[in-house]
Amino acid sequence: MGNDNVWDNEFLEFEDSVMKALLREDEKISKKLIKQYESIVVTDRYFSGDGFITEFEVRNFDNRLNASDLLHRFEISNERIVLRNVHAEVNALEYGARFLLFIDDGLINFLEGFTAGSEKWPNKISNYTVSILQE
């Protein structure tokens, strides 16, 4: 990993803010996703230089999304959905950061965060603003 400060408490709070924003992105599926997030366990987290990936395991399958939850917005059923309309202004990143939340087979799978410019991911997240982008 080569970056001891990346996963400190400030980063974990930042990641939680990003996840909560992503989970609010779509009202029709947000209740089930929030319930999944409440039972989630981090199975892996790694740093790529210009971002990070956090892998999750959902412990409670009762709130798995099904095809009827998705038909209003997505053309396919439960294979893969990617929520992506969240941006963060972050210290030391001129263009901020973007995020992708991958939902596979109706369950939260992993979060990818990356710089929106060519900068490297900062060693420390101390100042940020998370916002939902309008489509």
Percent of the chain with pLDDT over 90: 51
pLDDT of residue 71: 55
Contacts of 106 (CB under 8 A, 6+ apart): 64, 65, 66, 69, 78
pLDDT of residue 2: 42
Instruction: Summarize the confidence of residues 37-66 as an average pLDDT.
Output: 92
Instruction: Summarize the confidence of residues 63-68 as an average pLDDT.
Output: 78
Rg (CA), the chain: 15
Its pTM stands at: 0.86
Helix orientation angle between 9-23 and 27-38, rounded to the nearest 10 degrees: 150
User: Among 7-11, 46-50, 66-70, which range has the highest average pLDDT?
Assistant: 46-50
Phi, psi of 48 (to 5 degrees): -110, 0
Measured CA to CA, the distance from residue 30 to residue 82 in angstroms comes to 13
Percent of the chain with pLDDT over 70: 86
Q: How far is CA 21 from the centre of its chain?
A: 8
pLDDT of residue 77: 45
pLDDT of residue 73: 55
Instruction: Summarize the confidence of residues 3-13 as an average pLDDT.
Output: 74
What phi-psi label fits residue 126: left (phi over 0), alpha (psi between -120 and 50 degrees) or beta? Answer: alpha
Secondary element (H or E) of residue 68: helix 67-70
